[in-house]
Chains A and B, each alone.
Chain A
Amino acid sequence: MAVSERNHRGRFWPPLLLTAALALAALVALPLVGPAQISYARALAGQSPDAEILFYARLPRVLLALLAGGALAAAGALFQALLRDALATPYTLGVSSGASLGAVIAISAGWGTLAGWPAVWLSALAGAALVLALVVGIASEGRRMSSFTLLLAGVTINSICLAGILFLQYAAGFSQSFAIVRWLLGGIDAVEYKTLAGLATVVLLFAAYLTRQSRGWNLMAVGEEWAAARGVHVQRLMLSGYIAGSLVAGTVTSITGPIGFVGLIVPHALRLRLGADHRLLMPCSFFTGAAFLALCDTVARTAFSPAEIPVGVITAMTGGPFFIWILRSGRRSLWL
């Protein structure tokens, strides 16, 4: 018996270390990629322009991509478990359209900054929080919240927000309309370190919470009664998971705009390879999502440099075929 226990824990380490190494490699290597050749030695010695390019252009951007990618992938794994739907994403329950509506309102109104922060971020965050409150309020009607009512409420609010975005975009002037489209495509920018520090705190706390609750997600992924019969306070776990996931997805989306596919494809691909145990799936999704988005953003900023491709286009165009390959690699068929 002790043998199987050892084997069991032993199975956790290789994928965990591998994905963590992937994220670390992305952090170290990707800032070096770009039209201007830079070296760590010169940048760390403070030589210009290497130091400026590394510390003010590339490193903050890679860091933002790592944090955003990790958060979206982990939140995706969470929502897939909570909703027992392999096609759920962090956006399924309307958080990103709430954030988008908030951002679009700020762009349409021409708000600049509020208390030193971009008004678009604050407005997007407020939009995400409002949607979160609305969905919880509607879903917990009649005191009993289930994943089904959560899904219905989320999808409905999602549509309402999208309609609001369409209306505002229709009513907006030409340059505002362009800014709206640009925001809705999503993108990673070099942001200030104080923003990164705040985001890192939120995202890392979230990742730690998700990993700590992994046993709960396993049970919820099977069923609510299944979890309840094994001593889980289902309502409490579902509500706290939904709130935590939405807050993190909303915070990320406020800064980057909606970036699709990471939250869907990363946990899904890992689940095919690693199985459904969230003790492994959660941290591995976080690390892999981080590395994946950082890589995609590097492609986005360098492939057609100096022009940039929206990173959401890259995530879907590179991730899609890769995902199909993973999906097919397990079985044989006559074609594809």
Chain B
Amino acid sequence: MNPLFRTEELGLSYNGKAVLSGVSLEFSPGCVTAVVGPNGAGKSTLLSILAGLRRNYAGRCLYRGREVRDWARRAFAREVAFIPQTVRIEFPFTVEQVVLMGRTPYCKGLFEGPEDWEAAENAMRLTDVLELRHRDYRSLSGGERQRAILASVLAQEPHALILDEPATFLDLQHQIAIHSLLRELARQGMLVLTATHDLNLAAAFADRIVALRQGRVYCDSPPQEVVSAANIEAVFGVRAEVFRTPEGKPWVHYGRL
């Protein structure tokens, strides 16, 4: 399948210091990719460039063959959705209002139409927040918030979904539920790109792992190849042992702490 995203020598500098450089990657629909790496490796920077939030990048970043910064903002928001690490909301928005905000790139007037409500309700059903729809977002638990935010981006009906550490606040049950949902979305043809610290999680549900180190791509392969003791030591500076699960997926044990 044709890749949706293609970057060539992509880079970004803050005050002359390169936080990302020489990144040349392709991302195709229907594939779940996990971006791993230690803090400061450039994961969030890479994701926010792909999400269209940083337009001052160097090199090329193409979505459907067109430079991301050249896309009309609304049209791009109908294609690519993004979940940041944390969403703090200070004002009393209900879950339903938060989810409906995802319909912004489709709405012309002041009010949502029937198709907007349908998309929002489908999204709330998928992430299991329909019963919470009239609750104040601020009164939700961390996991419920994460699911409400996920519903908001699903209401955007994107072709590519970019998530910056989506499972951080989730309990085990919802972590598994969210990741099976992401897998299912990918099976239906969505491009899913997620940053994570958790190698075991990445190995379990991603088709492909991109490991970043100091702003550069260190390796980019299926989990079985990326997750090795040598790579973990090179990328994270941590000694680890890698086992295999019964299904043959890598399982990382970090040894003595």
Contacts and interface: CB of A to CB of B under 8 A. Distances in A.
A214 B101 CA distance: 11
Given A5-B112, A9-B111, A218-B97, A231 B105 contact: yes
Nearest to A273: B92
Interface in A1-35: 1-2, 4-5, 8-9
Interface residues of B, number: 37
A212 B110 CA distance: 7
Contacts of A230: 77, 101-102, 104-105, 156
Interface stretch (B83-91, B165-173, B199-207, B214-222): B83-91
Contact of A215 (B91, B110, B118, B156): B110
Interface stretch (A98-106, A247-255, A257-265, A274-282): A274-282
B88 A223 contact: yes
A91 to B, nearest CB: 20
Contact of A2 (B76, B78, B107, B114): B114
A215 B106 CA distance: 12
Report the contact-size class of chain A (Cβ under 8 Å from the partner).
Answer: 20 to 34
Contacts of A214: 110
A212 B108 CA distance: 11
Nearest to A230: B104
B144 to A, nearest CB: 16
A218 B93 contact: yes
Main secondary structure of the interface of B (DSSP, over half): mixed
Given A225-B53, A230-B77, A230-B101, A86 B90 contact: yes
Interface in A202-230: 211-212, 214-215, 218-219, 221-223, 225-226, 228-230
Interface in B136-154: none
Contacts of B113: 5
Main secondary structure of the interface of A (DSSP, over half): helix
Central interface residue in A2, A4, A81, by most chain B CB within 10 Å: A4
Interface in B25-52: 48, 51-52
Given A1-B114, A215-B110, A228-B73, A221 B91 contact: yes
B253 interface: no
A272 B87 contact: no
A275 B51 CA distance: 30
Contacts of A84: 90-91
Nearest to A222: B89
A232 interface: yes
A305 B153 CA distance: 59
A271 interface: yes
B91 A231 contact: no
Interface string B237-252: 0000000000000000
B102 A275 contact: no
Contacts of A81: 91
B121 A1 contact: yes
Nearest to B122: A1
A9 to B, nearest CB: 6
Contacts of A225: 48, 53, 82, 84
A8 B94 CA distance: 12
Contacts of B90: 84-86, 221
Contacts of B236: none
List of 10 A-B pairs having minimum Cβ-Cβ separation, nearest first: A231-B77, A276-B91, A231-B74, A231-B105, A230-B104, A229-B82, A231-B73, A276-B93, A276-B92, A5-B117
23 contacts: A2-B114, A2-B117, A9-B111, A215-B104, A218-B93, A218-B101, A219-B104, A221-B90, A226-B84, A229-B82, A229-B84, A230-B102, A230-B104, A231-B73, A231-B74, A231-B75, A231-B78, A232-B73, A233-B73, A272-B92, A275-B97, A276-B93, A279-B110
